C-alpha cells in the first residue's frame, strides 16, 4: 500500500472515505473488502469452533435420547427402516462434524470460520429435518419448530457475512421443504409450519443485515481511529509511530525479495526564523506544502513519507540503491526550493529550502539506528551550508530490508 493511499496528504483517510460513500450494499471498495473478510475470520474463528462443538453436543445428546424415547435398546437390531434412518442421520452428522473440527484444528491459522459455520448449520438442519419427519411419520413426539432455530442460526455471528448467511438460510429452508415433501405424506405437511419457516427467514435476514451493517461501521470507525493514531494531523503524512510500524513491514518484504531500502531524513532550513518572521499559521501552511512535495516522491506501493515532528521529515524508498537514493535526494532539494515559499530571513536562499541526509538500511538494523545514521549525515549537510544532500556511499553488507 502506498504512502499516498494509507498515509497520503489527503486529510480524509480511506476508512473515512468509505464511511462517507456508504455501506448500504454491505460491500466495501477495493482491498478493504478483503481486509474486512480477514478481520471477520480472525474475530469469529473461535465462536465458529464453539458453535460447531455445541452442534456436535446437540446431535449426540439427541442421538442418546433416541435410545430412551423409542426405545431402541429393547428392539435392537430389529428396527424399522425409519428408526434406522433416524440413527443414521444422527451419527453421520456426528462423524461429519468431527471431521470438520479436526480439519479446522489441523489447519490452524487458515481461513476456516465460515466453512465450519456452514457445515455446522447445514448438518444440524439436515439431521434435524430428517429426524423430525421420521418421528412425525411414526406418530412420535417431535419438536418441529426447533427447525426454525436452524434458519436463525445461519445469521449468528459465526464468521459468515450477510450474503453467505442469506444463501445458507435459504438453503436450509429449501432442504427442509424438500425433505418434508419427500418423507411426509400430504396430510402431515402443515402449511402453518411452512409459513412460519418463511417468516423466520425474512425476519432473521433483516436482523442479520442490520447486525452486519453495524459491524461494518464499527470496523470503519476502528480503522479511522487507527489512521488518526498513525498520521500527522497537520500534513496527513505518517507520524513517527506510523513510520515505526510500516518500516518493519517494509524491512520484512525487502528481506524476502533481497532488495535495498533507502532512508532520507529532511529538515527545513532556518524554520524557527520562518515562524518568527511569518507566524505559526504561515509556518503550518509551509510545512503542508513541503509535505505534499515529499509525498509526491513516495510513488511506489512500499514507499513512505513521514513527518517526524516539527520541521523534520523522513522518506522511505523501497528497492532503492545508493545511486538511486542520491538521485532522489538531489531531485528533492530543488523541488522544495521550486515551491517558491518566501523566506526572507534565510541565510542561503530567498525561498524555503531543505537539507537532507540519506542512508541504506543495514541487515537487522533497527529503525532507531538507521535514523541516527541519517541524522548524522543530515547534520553534515547543514554544516556544509544547508540546502544540500549528504548521502552515505557505503553499500549495505547485503541487499536487505
Catalytic residues: 311
H or E element in which residue 33 lies: helix 31-69
Sheet holding 312-318, edge to edge: 304-309, 312-318, 261-268, 354-360, 389-391
Report the candidate in 263, 388, 395 with the shortest Cα–Cα distance to residue 325.
263
User: Which cell is 271 given?
Assistant: 524554520
Distance between CA 303 and CA 323 in Å, rounded?
Answer: 17
- Mapped onto helix, strand or coil, the DSSP state of residue 391 is strand
Q: Say how many C-beta atoms besides its own lie within 10 A of residue 99's C-beta.
A: 11
Distance between CA 157 and CA 150 in Å, rounded?
Answer: 14
Query: What is residue 144's DSSP assignment?
Result: G
For residues 271 and 279, the answer to whether their CB atoms sit within 8 Å is no
Q: Is the peptide bond before 137 cis (omega within 30 degrees of 0)?
A: no
Report the candidate in 303, 236, 262 with the shortest Cα–Cα distance to residue 393.
262
* Radius of gyration for the chain, computed over Cα atoms and rounded to the nearest angstrom: 32
For residues 317 and 295, the answer to whether their CB atoms sit within 8 Å is no
For residues 238 and 230, the answer to whether their CB atoms sit within 8 Å is yes
Q: Are strands 354-360 and 312-318 parallel, antiparallel or unpaired?
A: unpaired
Query: What is residue 146's DSSP assignment?
Result: G
Amino acid at each position: 500500500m502506498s504512502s499516498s493511499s494509507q498515509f497520503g496528504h489527503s486529510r480524509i483517510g480511506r476508512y473515512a472515505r468509505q464511511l462517507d460513500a456508504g455501506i448500504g450494499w454491505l460491500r466495501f471498495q477495493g482491498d478493504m473488502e478483503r481486509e474486512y473478510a480477514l478481520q471477520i475470520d480472525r474475530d469469529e474463528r473461535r465462536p465458529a469452533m464453539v458453535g460447531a462443538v455445541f452442534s456436535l453436543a446437540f446431535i449426540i445428546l439427541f442421538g442418546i435420547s433416541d435410545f430412551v424415547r423409542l426405545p431402541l435398546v429393547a428392539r435392537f437390531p430389529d428396527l424399522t427402516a425409519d428408526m434406522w434412518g433416524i440413527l443414521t442421520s444422527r451419527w453421520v452428522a456426528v462423524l461429519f462434524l468431527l471431521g470438520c473440527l479436526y480439519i479446522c484444528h489441523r489447519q490452524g491459522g487458515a481461513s476456516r470460520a465460515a466453512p465450519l459455520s456452514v457445515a455446522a448449520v447445514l448438518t444440524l438442519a439436515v439431521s434435524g429435518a430428517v429426524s423430525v419427519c421420521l418421528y412425525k411419520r411414526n406418530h412420535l413426539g417431535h419438536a418441529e419448530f426447533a427447525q426454525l432455530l436452524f434458519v436463525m442460526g445461519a445469521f449468528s455471528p459465526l464468521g459468515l457475512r450477510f450474503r453467505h448467511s442469506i444463501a445458507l438460510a435459504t438453503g436450509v429452508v429449501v432442504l427442509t421443504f424438500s425433505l418434508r415433501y419427500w418423507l411426509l405424506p400430504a396430510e402431515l405437511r402443515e402449511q402453518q409450519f411452512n409459513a412460519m419457516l418463511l417468516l423466520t427467514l425474512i425476519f432473521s435476514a433483516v436482523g442479520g443485515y442490520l447486525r452486519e451493517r453495524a459491524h461494518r461501521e464499527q470496523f470503519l470507525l476502528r480503522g479511522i481511529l487507527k489512521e488518526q493514531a498513525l498520521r500527522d494531523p497537520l500534513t496527513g503524512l505518517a507520524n513517527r509511530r506510523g513510520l515505526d510500524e510500516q518500516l518493519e513491514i517494509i524491512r520484512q518484504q525487502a528481506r524476502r525479495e533481497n532488495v535495498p531500502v533507502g532512508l532520507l531524513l529532511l529538515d527545513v532550513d532556518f524554520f524557527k526564523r520562518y515562524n518568527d518572521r511569518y507566524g505559526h499559521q504561515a509556518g503550518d501552511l509551509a510545512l503542508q506544502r513541503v509535505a505534499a512535495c515529499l509525498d509526491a516522491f513516495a510513488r511506489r506501493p512500499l514507499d513512505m513519507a513521514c513527518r517526524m515532528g516539527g520541521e523534520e521529515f523522513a522518506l522511505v524508498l523501497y528497492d532503492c540503491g545508493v545511486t538511486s537514493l542520491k538521485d532522489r535526494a538531489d531531485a528533492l532539494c530543488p523541488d522544495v526550493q521550486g515551491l517558491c515559499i518566501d523566506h526572507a530571513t534565510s541565510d542561503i536562499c530567498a525561498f524555503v529550502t531543505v537539507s537532507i541526509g540519506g542512508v541504506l538500511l543495514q541487515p537487522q538494523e533497527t529503525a532507531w539506528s538507521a535514523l541516527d545514521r541519517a541524522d548524522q549525515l543530515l547534520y553534515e549537510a547543514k554544516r556544509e551550508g544547508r540546502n544540500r544532500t549528504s548521502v552515505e556511499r557505503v553499500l549495505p553488507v547485503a541487499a536487505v530490508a
